[in-house]
Structure 1
Amino acid sequence: MRIHTLDLRFIGLPGLIASFLVESGGEYALIETGPGSTLETLRAAVRHAGVDEAAIKKVFVTHIHLDHAGAAGWFAQQGAVIYCHPNAARHLIDPSKLIESARMVYGAQMDALWGDMLPAPADKVIALKDNERVTLGQVEVIAWDTPGHARHHHAFVIGDVCFAGDVAGMRLEGSRYLSVTAAPPQFDPVAYVQSIDRLAAAGFKTLYLTHFGAVEDVAWHLATYRQRVTEVYERVAAGCKEGISVEENRQRYAAAEHQIAIAAGVSEELWLKGEDANVTSMCADGVRLYCEKGR
């Protein structure tokens, strides 16, 4: 098996969003497609890896947020089968509600940031249950139900390798700062920790993060990320008890994360780059929403 990390150069920057080209026994698959706005970059990266796009017959998306699955419909329309979580399938077939929701958040920036999300033909979308397997050449791709970031989230396991989507967070340029991916509306710290514990118990050799790339110090990464998820939840929960405003919550969240990142050796430039991939104000909203639901 060979794994190619394809840099989609989201908003023109390297190292923010990855897609993974997996080849085994003469078969090719993509894990994650990135947004529609980077489709042409993805297609060029596939060709640069020496692979004909038409040879990609299987596409796996960890969840249907636009930075992970926005281009999935295009591949489905070319004949590839899209594998996803059962709760994600309907949004790939009819992405209109997803697009409408995103447009409310991003407004005039929507098209530039995310591009088009084309509908996938229903017969090209296959929902996988927990532990279901798909043969790819000489290996099997196993779907793991891993909620916490989203209820419709899968990690994909191949042997001692795990493609973690967002359930193992964001880590840019190999830094020691792990940013919690907590965009609304489905952040759930209890489910998140359980999913992280499941990954940690498996003893994977390598994690592949959509944001961004291969992680080899897996035990440290997952143990630290588990602490980070709990930390951001407890911080926001405390603010909610104080009755702070939405804007104050966002400001406190950003200030705390900035301080943690700088203490971990992150440069100001890398911090700002991270904000382009995992905006702290949006994460603050995601954690606050969970707290306000009283769970």
Structure 2
Amino acid sequence: MQSTQGIHTIDTGFVRPGFDAAYLVVENGRGAFIDCGTNHSVPRMLAALDAAGLAVAEVDWLILTHVHLDHAGGAGELMARLPQAQLVVHPRGARHMIDPSKLWAGASAVYGEAVMEREYGRLRPVPAERVVEAGDGHVVDLAGRLLRCIDTPGHARHHIAIHDAHAQVIFTGDVFGLSYREFDTAKGPFILPTTSPVQFDPDELHASIHRLLALQPVAMYPTHFGRIEDLQRLAADLHEQIDAMVGLAQEAGVHADRHAQLVDSLTNLYATRALAHGWTKGRAALEQLLHMDIELNAQGLEVWLDR
């Protein structure tokens, strides 16, 4: 578990090492988790508390960037083990934490019941009285360390980013893209947008990225994966790719098998950019690492195209 300025990066264990992160922020002996992975991640979250020297009763908050299951699937199970904590979530996501049945049904329609049980585990409701709705500008007070919630649609309409002014960083969920450490080169981190179903909106995503950058953070903490710097370059890369991906979706829309066409063109886009970034392991290795993200990006772009 890596840590800096009271921020601990936790690998939730979802999919593969270095794929899905949650964060623990510690201030004056109190803790706040930001995102939590799946039910299967709960032991890792509790182990992170032990490593940071905190008891479960010293956790005041679980803050969710959004309610997609790789970020929030374990919220109910984790909250059941944190007797003093409240759960903070975008107003659009609150009802899905209190009653996760629709969240489960929607994800099951995509992945199937068997995959859901294996990968995520059954979703546990969070009592309504423990849920705090965080509109734009909502401030979470962690023992005097103020964590401000910023409404950041584009990836999802129920998405917030969390600005930690003390450390001059932002926890970005999925709105500032995906940056896996396997793609780091001498040029720094590699990044790509995530357009997974069903609420991708390119204009809103551009605006959210601009808004975060205007806060002048020194680093971002995306869920996928870990602390990244060199933010001006990365933001420019995201803006460029969002436009390119929208163009590829529009081109694919005229093909009989638009999904296969879009998967192939997205793979070409990322492979070309990775090579230019100095990543030399080749297209096959890229496909192996990004196959899930490419598939979900294609699906999300198609939903946007149909809308």
TM-score by length of 2: 0.88
Shifted more, 267-276 versus 280-289: the winner is: 267-276
The answer to whether the aligner puts 1:290 opposite 2:304 as a matched pair is yes
Displacement of 1:100 after TM fit? Answer: 1.3
1:40 pairs with 2:52: no
Please tell me the residue identity of whatever aligns with 2:177: G
From 64, 70, 73, the equivalent of 1:70 is 73
| Alpha-carbon separation, structure 1, partners of 2:123 and 2:59 | 19
Distance (whole Å) between structure 1 residues aligned to residue 271 and residue 110 of structure 2:
23
What does residue 81 of structure 1 align with?
Answer: 86
Q: CA–CA distance in 1 between the matches of 2:91 and 2:45?
A: 26
Query: CA deviation digits over 1:27-70, x for unaligned, max 9?
Result: 11001101122222222233223222332121100000001011
Query: Matches of residues 1-295 of structure 1 in structure 2 within 5 Å?
Result: 2-11=6-15, 13-78=16-81, 79=83, 80-107=85-112, 108-159=114-165, 160-173=168-181, 175=184, 176-241=189-254, 244-266=257-279, 267-268=281-282, 271-272=286-287, 274-275=289-290, 278-293=292-307
Distance 1:129 1:227, change over 3 A: same
Which digits, 9 at most, give the CA deviation of each residue in 1:5-35, with x for residues without a partner?
A: 1112223x32111111101122110011011
Report the alpha carbon displacement of residue 157 of structure 1 after superposing the two structures with TM: 0.5
Query: Taking structure 1 as reference, are residues 168 and 270 closer, same or farther at Cα in structure 2, changes over 3 Å only?
Result: farther
Report percent identity of matched pairs: 33
Give the AA of the match of 1:275.
Answer: L
Separation of aligned partners in 2, 1:31 and 1:216 = 19
Amino acid at match of 1:55: E
**2:50 corresponds to which letter in structure 1?**
R
The Cα of 1:116 is off from its aligned counterpart by 2.8
Q: Which runs of 5+ in 2 are unaligned?
A: none
Deviation string, structure 1 residues 120-143 (Cα, Å, up to 9, x no partner)? 010111111101111111211101
State the alpha-carbon separation in 2 of the partners of residues 211 and 188 from structure 1. Answer: 20
Q: Structure 2 CA distance, aligned partners of 1:112 and 1:47?
A: 27
Q: Secondary structure at the match of 1:6?
A: strand
The one-letter code of the counterpart of 2:127 is: P
Structure 1: state its 5+ residue gaps: none
Q: 1:142 to 1:96 in 2, by over 3 A?
A: same
Q: Within 2, Cα distance between the matches of 1:32 and 1:185?
A: 20
Secondary structure in 2 matching 1:57: strand
Q: Tell whether the 8 Å contact from 1:236 to 1:253 is kept in structure 2 after alignment.
A: no
Please report how far the alpha carbon of residue 255 of structure 1 lies from its aligned counterpart in structure 2 after TM superposition.
3.5
Contact 1:76/1:121, CA 8 A, preserved across alignment: no
Cα drift, residue 222 of structure 1: 1.5
Cα 1:18/1:273, change in 2 over 3 Å: farther
AA matched with 2:260: E
Question: Aligned partner of 1:163: which letter?
Answer: F
1:57-102 CA-to-partner distances (Å, cap 9, x unmatched) read 2110000000101111123323321001000000001111111111
Give the AA of the match of 1:141.
Answer: L
What is the CA distance between 1:275 and its match in structure 2? 2.2
Change (3 A) 1:234 1:224: same
Whole-angstrom distance in 2 between the partners of 1:164 and 1:15: 16
> Could you say if the C-alpha distance between residues 271 and 50 of structure 1 is closer, same or farther in structure 2, counting changes exceeding 3 Å?
farther
Which residue identity lines up with residue 175 of structure 2 in the other structure? V
Shift of 1:265: 3.1
